[in-house]
Structure formats: structure tokens, C-alpha cells
């Protein structure tokens, strides 16, 4: 029985791969759904009030997320987190916004939660206190309140495969190549460093949602040195094989993505988006607002109803039979549960 | 409701909790089923609210690795959902573990049975290692047994990816009796060989029906190992005296495994010996173990469905008990450990007498 390649067995391969078209589709439909819900909430609060609101477009949402991707890099530099933490947090943030919109959840807090979660999932944990004490105007609940939501949005799929690891693997392969120049690691280290810089730039793009880590790594290497990239590719494929030409067109597409991400995010235009976001974000998620309180009251009412029903069921069961007998145990399996959540 | 919340609620509805079967400090385990199919499952509810740093590391590790690993000999994580401040892991239902089976004195193990359990353990472990994952807590009660006899590696609460060479890891892992000497000497750089040592200990335990290297403290653990296998020399294990927590333990002679494992075949002892090599780099890998002559020699491994099972499991009610790992059945519920035949009694005293040989003789 042929074994599945390791990467193809990963949740990343199975659940987090998109085409450029499907990415745009996901973002457009999330955006449209959020706008519809928020518009309704505004109207319920005050009829006619939503017509003046200028909602964010999917591209504007993406712009804001990109800005916070770059903030992860800054924070990781400050905390001296390993590259694994940074890359993982970036993936989490991007994946989160394929299930949610910035109009519901502002990327600032999601970013803080994603990074904190990434320290744990990559086995580099720090205490929450040490984390929040070093980030201005941030307290424990800013990080923890969203932890479940972030974990759920990720489908509890915490393992991420990264291009910088793939690049390291390619680099080790090249040092082991039969006709490698002596001491290649030292002599050509500048090429590796340059390729790594391109991998890091690729994190600002959608590359990881479309291509495999090794494709991104090889594309990054090909920007730094097309000779070395070819040398490696040709060691893996027969010269003239169709796979090799497919690979070259894939690499070209990734290079375009990387190049288009190399300009820093224009902070001024993001500021404009962020200002508008203040006016169009979902009021149900703004603590203290009328809509927030209304939703909370509704949730509370439902919970109360459920508790009452449970109490009635228990009483009924007690009245009908021996409360310690089979009958009760059969009907109310969770009677000794502390929850919450049956 | 958000799409994400909605999806979570949908998942939650897929599973029904039937009965609480165990409770520990951090988790409650329920026996449950899939609502649509009535397939039996175990639901492990981890209380997260109480952790000041949010989701705790062992829950994260367990979810992270089990989400990625799908193999016949690794426990399957069917689903994950959250409920208020709880994290719920839906795991395949497994009714017993290897520790219960080893301790069940009414069961007789054939050499082919032991071979079958070893093959399944090495298959599951090779798969973990192939996926760059160290388990770091292998022991009989983390090897669960399905109703069809398949053995499944469980409890990934201490697992991690291999670190790059030169990257430190903690040496405070693996239950003491199954912990390899390099960890006891405080090595912070180690590899898949740590898990293989544990499997060696489990192999020995299957043959002896009692823990092979049962030290009473970390220091005593090293002494117990050296008493059984001889004190390593610099030649056996180059550099071990330079490990951070190295202390001279005393000189114990090497006794052939044959002296203790009198009934084992030469192939079995060869594999056991290679799992318990002091020098971690020379210890056999899980992959090589699978092609060891032991697995190709007669008798062939028993079919999983023919393996000995705990009879106690057929009775339904399980009292609550303190939870350790994913096992759902209580120790209190296990068969009384009575000796079922005089032969059993004889072999047990024989074992303990033989164990005495491994103690240092006066003056040695």
C-alpha cells in the first residue's frame, strides 16, 4: 500500500488550501454576511440608521489584517520569540479571518490572542502575566477572552507547516549535493539569508494559503539565486519532465505574490479603514452598547429557560419513580454533571 | 450567532454524553456516542476556566498531535468542541489498556500474543516518529486496547515535535520506570531513542508480568537499571559521565538477559537487548525494530482478535475513579488479582527468585 506523503496527511493540506479565486469568494461571502447582520442590528436599533454607514470591503478588511500580520513580527522581535512562533501566529491570524470578519472581531485583539496561543502550540509558552505586562494597554482578558473563539476558528488544528523550515531543508539538501562546492554553507550563506528574507516577506501575502511550504521556499530561493533553485529542482526531477515546467510556472506565480508584498502596508490608508471600522463594526460585539446589552439579555433569558426546564424535568422524574433507580439514570444521564452544556 | 459558534454548536450536537466514567483534577471523562449512529465514543471534558494562562499545555499538545495523526495504532481524535469554559475531546472508545491485561492474573500470554502487542506498539510508534513526534510517556496504561484487540497509543499530553539539534528539551518526561538513563542523567538533547527505551521496558514487562525496572526514586531508578543491565562503561556509552546530572552509581556486573528471561527466544532477547542499549544513538529505531528477525520468526504474531482480553470488561457498570490517561474503566473494576492456577503461582515465585540474581553479589 503506498504511503500518503506526510504533508498530504496534514490538516493544513486537507483544510487550509485555497485557489486565489476561492479565497476571494470566501472573503466576499463572509463580508456580505457580516454587513447584512450588522445592517439589521442598526435598523433594529434605529430604523434608517444603516443607510449612512460605509461598510468595509473585503479588500479593506484584508488590508487591516495585513497590518496586524506585520505587528506580529514587531512583537516577536520584542519578545525574542523563535521564528516558529511568529510564523505560526501569522498563519493563525490569516486562518481566523477566513472564518470571521474584522467587522465582528478587531484584528488587534485577535492578533494578541493568536500570538499567545502560538507560543503554547509551538511549545514556547510564557506566562500570561509576562506577556501582557510587556504590551501596553493590554490586560489578561484582552488575550484570554478570545482564546476559545480563535481555537474554534482554527478548527483546533494547531499544527502548521512553514516555508522557513522547508527552506532549511532545501539548504541542507544543497550542502549534501554530490557536486556541491566545498563548504557551501559558509561560502553561500548570503544566498540562504536572502532567500529567508523573501520567505518572511511571503508571510504578508496569501502564498501559504495557496501553495505548499516547499514551493514557497523554492520560489524564495529562486529570487535569491535562480542557479541554486534550479540545481535543487533538477536533483529532484528528471530534466525535461513535465513536472519541472509546471514547477517553474508555480514558482513564477509565487514570486509575483512575494514581490507585490514587499512594499510596506501604507499606514495612512489603513488608518482611514480603521476609522471607518469604528462606525461600522458589529454593535453586538461592542461591550456596553445597546445592542450588546440586548443580546446579553436574550442569551441570559434562554439560559434561564433551559435551567427551568431542567429543574422541571428532574422534579417530574422524582415524582414518577424512585429517584435512585434505573429509570432516572436512564432519562437524566447528566444529573451529576457540573455543566453547563448538555 | 457567528458562523464559527454555529459550527461549534453543530459539532456539539453530534455527540451525546451518556455516563461519567472518570474524573481527575483537570478532566472528566464520559462514555458517550455519536447521536446519528450510536457509535460508542469517549468524551474527555477538560475544564479550562481554572487555568490562569488559558488553554493548558497538555490539552494543547494532545489536540495538536492527535488532530494530525491517523493510524490504526494511534488513538483517534474524532472531534473537538468547546462548551462555555470547557474543551471537549471526542475520542474513539477503548475499553481497556495493556496494564490491566498484564495485571490480570487469569490471563495467560502466549509468546505470539506478546509479539502481536509489540508489533502494534512499534507500528504506532514508528508512525509518530515518522511524523516527527516524540511521545515521551509510553507505559502499559497508555497503550489502550480496542474491543477488536487493536492496540492504540494514547495520551499525547507530554508529546512534542523533535527539536532541532542543539535545541534544549526538558528531561522531566516519561514515567520513571520507563524513563531511559540519558534522561535520568539530565540530558536536554535527546531523540526518538527515549521512546524506544520505554517500549523495551514494556516488552520486558509483558514477559515478566511485573514492571521490569521499578525504581523507587529517580536515583534508585538508575541503580535499578544498572543492577539489571550492568553499569555502563565509557566504551558502552561514550560521554555519559559528562551529562549534567551524572553521578557514579556503583559498579554492577552485566548479567545476560537470558538469566532472567528464561523462556524467551534468542530473537526476542536480541530485540529486547537492542531497545535497552545504553548509547541512545545505537539503540534500535522503531522502523528497524519492525523489520527485526523477531517479527518474522515463528510463532507469528497472534491476530488482534485472538489476544487475551480482560473478562471483567464484559460487566457493564464502571464505578467512578481518579482518571489517569484516557482509559475508561476503573482499576476497582478489574478482576481480582487472584492466582488462577498453581502454575501461575510457581512462575511468579520463579520470577521473583530470578530477579534476585540481578542484585549485586556481596563483594562484586
**A339: which chain B residues are within 8 Å (Cβ-Cβ)?**
45, 83-84, 86
The answer to whether the beta carbons of residues A54 and A279 sit under 8 Å apart is: yes
**How crowded is residue A243: how many other Cβ atoms within 10 Å of its Cβ?**
11
**Does B23 show up as a binding residue in the annotation?**
yes
> Over the range A57-81, which residues count as b (16 or more CB within 10 Å of their CB) and which as e?
ebebbbbbbbbbbebbbebbeebeb
Adjacent-strand bridge partners of A259: none
What value does the CA radius of gyration of chain A take, rounded to a whole number of Å?
25
Cβ contacts from A onto B, under 8 A: 91
Give the Cα separation of B256 and B351 in Å (integer).
15
Q: Is the pLDDT of residue B330 over 60?
A: no
**In this predicted structure, what is the pLDDT of residue B44?**
93
Please, which pLDDT band fits residue B332 given cuts at 50, 70 and 90?
Answer: very low
The answer to whether the beta carbons of residues B92 and B146 sit under 8 Å apart is: yes
The answer to whether the beta carbons of residues A206 and A66 sit under 8 Å apart is: no
Q: How far is B19 from chain A (nearest CA, A)?
A: 6
Contact criterion met (CB < 8 Å) for A100 and B64: no
**B65: which chain A residues are within 8 Å (Cβ-Cβ)?**
159
DSSP for A122-188? TT----HHHHHHTSTT--HHHHHTTHHHHHHHTTT------HHHHHHHHHHHHHH-TTPPTTHHHHT
**In this predicted structure, what is the pLDDT of residue B288?**
98
Residue B93, φ and ψ in degrees, nearest 5 = -85, 125
Contact criterion met (CB < 8 Å) for A11 and B83: no
**In this predicted structure, what is the pLDDT of residue A340?**
44
Please, which pLDDT band fits residue B310 given cuts at 50, 70 and 90?
Answer: confident
Adjacent-strand bridge partners of B83: B86
Q: Give the least confident one: A189-198, A323-332, B192-201, B293-302.
A: A323-332
Cα B96–Cα B329–Cα B34 angle in degrees, nearest 5: 85
Q: Which residue has the higher pLDDT, A287 or B190?
A: B190
**In this predicted structure, what is the pLDDT of residue A289?**
64
DSSP for A51-107? TT--PPPHHHHHHHHHHHHHHHHHHHHHHT--HHHHHHHHHHHHHHTTTS-TTTS-H
Please, which pLDDT band fits residue B128 given cuts at 50, 70 and 90?
Answer: very high
Contact criterion met (CB < 8 Å) for A341 and B86: yes
Give the Cα separation of B62 and B216 in Å (integer).
29
Instruction: Work out the burial of residue B265: count CB atoms within 10 Å of its CB; fewer than 13 is exposed, 13-18 middle, 19 or more buried.
Output: middle
From B135, B113, B115, select the one nearest B124 (Cα to Cα). Answer: B135
**B80: which chain A residues are within 8 Å (Cβ-Cβ)?**
155-156
Q: How far is B278 from chain A (nearest CA, A)?
A: 28
Q: Is the pLDDT of residue B315 over 60?
A: no
**B19: which chain A residues are within 8 Å (Cβ-Cβ)?**
333
Average pLDDT, chain B: 86
Give the Cα separation of A141 and A94 in Å (integer).
22
What mean pLDDT is predicted for residues B280-300? 97
Q: Which residue of B has its CA nearest to A144?
A: B54
The answer to whether the beta carbons of residues B2 and B12 sit under 8 Å apart is: no
Give the Cα separation of B114 and A198 in Å (integer).
53
Q: Which residue of A has its CA nearest to B31?
A: A333
Mutual orientation of helices B111-130 and B193-208 as an angle, nearest 10°? 170
CA B236 to chain centre: 27
Q: How far is B291 from chain A (nearest CA, A)?
A: 17
> What contacts B259, CB < 8 A, 6 or more positions away?
B354, B357, B358
Contact criterion met (CB < 8 Å) for B20 and A336: yes
> What contacts A306, CB < 8 A, 6 or more positions away?
none
Q: Using the 8-state DSSP alphabet, how is residue B160 labeled? A: E
Q: Give the least confident one: A256-260, B18-22, B47-51, B263-267.
A: B47-51
**In this predicted structure, what is the pLDDT of residue A256?**
96
Instruction: Catalogue the active-site residues of B.
Output: 137
Cα B124–Cα B128–Cα B134 angle in degrees, nearest 5: 125
Give the Cα separation of A194 and A258 in Å (integer).
13
- pLDDT > 70 fraction of chain B, expressed in percent and rounded: 85
**Does B25 show up as a binding residue in the annotation?**
yes
Low-confidence residues in chain A, pLDDT < 70: 1-3, 286-291, 314, 317-342
Contact criterion met (CB < 8 Å) for B18 and A158: no
**B12: which chain A residues are within 8 Å (Cβ-Cβ)?**
341
From B194, B159, B220, select the one nearest B277 (Cα to Cα). Answer: B194
The answer to whether the beta carbons of residues B137 and B174 sit under 8 Å apart is: yes
**In this predicted structure, what is the pLDDT of residue A2?**
62
> Over the range A262-299, which residues count as b (16 or more CB within 10 Å of their CB) and which as e?
eeebeeeebeebbeebeebbbbbbeeebebbeebeeee
B228-235: which pairs have CB atoms within 8 A and are 24 or more residues apart? B228/B255, B228/B260, B228/B358, B229/B254, B229/B255, B229/B276, B229/B278, B230/B254, B230/B255, B232/B181, B232/B278
**Interface-testing mutation among A26, A130, A152, A157, with chain B (most B C-beta atoms within 10 A):** A152
Q: What is the ipTM of this complex?
A: 0.84
Q: Which residue of A has its CA nearest to B54?
A: A144
Q: Is the pLDDT of residue B84 over 50?
A: yes
Give the Cα separation of A74 and A203 in Å (integer).
13
Nearest to B52 among A128, A155, A342 (CB): A128
From B87, B114, B116, B278, select the one nearest B209 (Cα to Cα). Answer: B114
Give the Cα separation of B327 and B76 in Å (integer).
13
Contact criterion met (CB < 8 Å) for A156 and B55: no
Note the pLDDT tens digit of each residue in B139-166: 999 999 999 999 999 999 999 998 788 8
**In this predicted structure, what is the pLDDT of residue A332?**
39
Contact criterion met (CB < 8 Å) for B60 and A120: yes
Q: Is the pLDDT of residue B345 over 80?
A: no
**In this predicted structure, what is the pLDDT of residue A288?**
60
Q: How far is A202 from chain B (nearest CA, A)?
A: 23
Nearest to B20 among A121, A152, A337 (CB): A337
DSSP for B244-309? TT-----------HHHH-TT--HHHHHHHHHHT-SSTTTSPPHHHHHTSGGGTSSSPPPPGGGS--
Is the CA virtual torsion B251, B254, B259, B265 positive or negative? positive
Amino acid at each position: 500500500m503506498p504511503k500518503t506523503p506526510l504533508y498530504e496527511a496534514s490538516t493544513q493540506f486537507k483544510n487550509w488550501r485555497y485557489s486565489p479565486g476561492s479565497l476571494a469568494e470566501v472573503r466576499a461571502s463572509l463580508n456580505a454576511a457580516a454587513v447584512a447582520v450588522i445592517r439589521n442590528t442598526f435598523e433594529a436599533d434605529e430604523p434608517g440608521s444603516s443607510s449612512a454607514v460605509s461598510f468595509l470591503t473585503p479588500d479593506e478588511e484584508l488590508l487591516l489584517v495585513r497590518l496586524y500580520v506585520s505587528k506580529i513580527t514587531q512583537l516577536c522581535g520584542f519578545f525574542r520569540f523563535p521564528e516558529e512562533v511568529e510564523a505560526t501566529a501569522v498563519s493563525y491570524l490569516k486562518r481566523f479571518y477566513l472564518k470571521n470578519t474584522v467587522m465582528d472581531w478587531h484584528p488587534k485583539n485577535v492578533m494578541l490572542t493568536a500570538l499567545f496561543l502560538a507560543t503554547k502550540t509551538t511549545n514556547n509558552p510564557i506566562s500570561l502575566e509576562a506577556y501582557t505586562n510587556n504590551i501596553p494597554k493590554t490586560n489578561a482578558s484582552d488575550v484570554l477572552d478570545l482564546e476559545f473563539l480563535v481555537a474554534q476558528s482554527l478548527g483546533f488544528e494547531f499544527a502548521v507547516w512553514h516555508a522557513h523550515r522547508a527552506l532549511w531543508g532545501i539548504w541542507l539538501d544543497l550542502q549534501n549535493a554530490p557536486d556541491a562546492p566545498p563548504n557551501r554553507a559558509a561560502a553561500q550563506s548570503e544566498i540562504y539569508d536572502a532567500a529567508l528574507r523573501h520567505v518572511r516577506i511571503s508571510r504578508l501575502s496569501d502564498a501559504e494559503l495557496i501553495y505548499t511550504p516547499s514551493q514557497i521556499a523554492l520560489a524564495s530561493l529562486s529570487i535569491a539565486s535562480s542557479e541554486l533553485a534550479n540545481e535543487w529542482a533538477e536533483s529532484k526531477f528528471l530534466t525535461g519532465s513535465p513536472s519541472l515546467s509546471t514547477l517553474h510556472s508555480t514558482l513564477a506565480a509565487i514570486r509575483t505574490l512575494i514581490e507585490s508584498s514587499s512594499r510596506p502596508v501604507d499606514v495612512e490608508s489603513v488608518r482611514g479603514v480603521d476609522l471607518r471600522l469604528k462606525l461600522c463594526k458589529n454593535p453586538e460585539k461592542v461591550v456596553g452598547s445597546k445592542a450588546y446589552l440586548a443580546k446579553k439579555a436574550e442569551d441570559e433569558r434562554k439560559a434561564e429557560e433551559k435551567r427551568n426546564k431542567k429543574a422541571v424535568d428532574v422534579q417530574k422524574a422524582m415524582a414518577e419513580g424512585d429517584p435512585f433507580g434505573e429509570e432516572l439514570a436512564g432519562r437524566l444521564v447528566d444529573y451529576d454533571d457540573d455543566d453547563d452544556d448538555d | 450567532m457567528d458562523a464559527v459558534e454555529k459550527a461549534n454548536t453543530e459539532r456539539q450536537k453530534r455527540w451525546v454524553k451518556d455516563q461519567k466514567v472518570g474524573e481527575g483534577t483537570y478532566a472528566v471523562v464520559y462514555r458517550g456516542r455519536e447521536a446519528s449512529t450510536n457509535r460508542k465514543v469517549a468524551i474527555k471534558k477538560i475544564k479550562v476556566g481554572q487555568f490562569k494562562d488559558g488553554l493548558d499545555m497538555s490539552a494543547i499538545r494532545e489536540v495538536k498531535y492527535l488532530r494530525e495523526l491517523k493510524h490504526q495504532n494511534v488513538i483517534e481524535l474524532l472531534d473537538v468542541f468547546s462548551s462555555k469554559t470547557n474543551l471537549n475531546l471526542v475520542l474513539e472508545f477503548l475499553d481497556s489498556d495493556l496494564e490491566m491485561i498484564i495485571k490480570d492474573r487469569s490471563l495467560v500470554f502466549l509468546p505470539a500474543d506478546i509479539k502481536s502487542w509489540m508489533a502494534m506498539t512499534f507500528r504506532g510508534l514508528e508512525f509518530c516518529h515518522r511524523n516527527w513526534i516524540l511521545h515521551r510517556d509510553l507505559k502499559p496504561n497508555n497503550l489502550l486496547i480496542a474491543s477488536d484487540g487493536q492496540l492504540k497509543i494514547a495520551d499525547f499530553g507530554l508529546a512534542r515535535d523533535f527539536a532541532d539539534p542543539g535545541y534544549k528539551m526538558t528531561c522531566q518526561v516519561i514515567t520513571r520506570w520507563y524513563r531511559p538513563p540519558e534522561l535520568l542523567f539530565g540530558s536536554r538533547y535527546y531523540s526518538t531513542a527515549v521512546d524506544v527505551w520505554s517500549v523495551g521496558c514494556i516488552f520486558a514487562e509483558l514477559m515478566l508480568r511485573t514492571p521490569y525496572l521499578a525504581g523507587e526514586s529517580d536515583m534508585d531508578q538508575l541503580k535499578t537499571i544498572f543492577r539489571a543491565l550492568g553499569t555502563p562503561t565509557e566504551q558502552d556509552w561514550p560521554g555519559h559521565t559528562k551529562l549534567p546530572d551524572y553521578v557514579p552509581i556503583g559498579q554492577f556486573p552485566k548479567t545476560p538477559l537470558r538469566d532472567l528471561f528464561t523462556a524467551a527466544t534468542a530473537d526476542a532477547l536480541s530485540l529486547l537487548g537492542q531497545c535497552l542499549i545504553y548509547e541512545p544513538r545505537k539503540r534500535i529505531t522503531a522502523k528497524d525494530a519492525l523489520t527485526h528477525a523477531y517479527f518474522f520468526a515463528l510463532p507469528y504474531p497472534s491476530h488482534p482478535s485472538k489476544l487475551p482480553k480482560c473478562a471483567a470488561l464484559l460487566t457493564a457498570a464502571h464505578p467512578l475513579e481518579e482518571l489517569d490517561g484516557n482509559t475508561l474503566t476503573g482499576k476497582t473494576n478489574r478482576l481480582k488479582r487472584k492466582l488462577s492456577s498453581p502454575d501461575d503461582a510457581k512462575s511468579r515465585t520463579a520470577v521473583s527468585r530470578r530477579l534476585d540474581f540481578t542484585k549485586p553479589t556481596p563483594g562484586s
